[in-house]
């Protein structure tokens, strides 16, 4: 589908944004957690395994979205 609002391209861009948000958000959490800083106004500790899992999942989603946009 081509045109101003291509649905295929729009969906790929939305998936790319979600993947990048997952990568950047979890990377930021891991960096802050390694410094010993916790989230502001929240109690509890960082779940490192979950953060790494979500970071890797976000990276896979990002690569998939970029491949969809290129190909």
Query: pLDDT tens digits, residue range 26-66?
Result: 999 999 988 877 777 777 788 899 999 999 999 999 999 99
Lookup: tokens for 24: 């950047």
Angle between helices 48-70 and 7-34 in degrees, nearest 10? 150
Structural domain count of the chain: 1
Direct distance between the N- and C-terminal alpha carbons of the chain, in angstroms, rounded to an integer: 14
Does some domain include residue 1?
no
For 16, the domain range is 7-37+46-70
Q: Where are the alpha helices (DSSP H) in 1-70?
A: 7-34, 48-70
User: Residue 1's pLDDT band (boundaries 50, 70, 90)?
Assistant: low
Does some domain include residue 2?
no
pLDDT at 30: 94
The reply to whether the predicted model has a pTM over 0.85 is: no
Report the run of H or E that residue 45 belongs to, with start and end. Answer: none
């Amino acid at each position: 589908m081509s045109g101003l609002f291509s649905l295929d391209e729009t969906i790929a861009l939305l998936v790319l944004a979600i993947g990048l948000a997952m990568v950047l958000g979890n990377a930021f959490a891991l960096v802050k957690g390694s410094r010993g800083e916790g989230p502001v106004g929240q109690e509890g500790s960082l779940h490192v395994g979950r953060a790494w899992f979500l970071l890797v999942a976000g990276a896979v989603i990002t690569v998939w979205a970029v491949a969809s946009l290129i190909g």
